[in-house]
Amino acid sequence: MEITLNNNKEVIQADNITVADLIRLKNFTFKLLVTKVNGQLVKKDDRDKVFIHEGDDVVVMHLISGG
Partner 1 sequence: MTNDQHIRTRLRSKTVGIAGCGGLGSNCAVALARVGVGKLVIADFDRVEESNLNRQYFFSDQVGLPKVKALKENIGRIDPEIRIEMHEVMLSAVNIPVIFKDCDVIVEAFDKSEMKQMIIETVAATLPDKALVCGVGLAGWGDNEIIRMRSFGNVYVCGDMTNEVSDGYPPLAPRVGIVANMEANQVMEILLGKM
Sole window of 11-19, 20-28, 33-41, 47-55 interacting with partner 1 (rule: CB under 8 A): 33-41
Among 1, 21, 36, 46, indicate the residue that binds partner 1 (CB under 8 A).
36
Query: How many residues lie near partner 1 (CB under 8 A)?
Result: 18
Residue number with CB closer to partner 1 (25 or 63): 63
State the DSSP H helix or E strand holding residue 62, giving kind and residue range, or none if neither: strand 57-62
Binding of residue 50 to partner 1 (CB under 8 A):
no
52 in Cβ contact with 11 (< 8 Å) = no
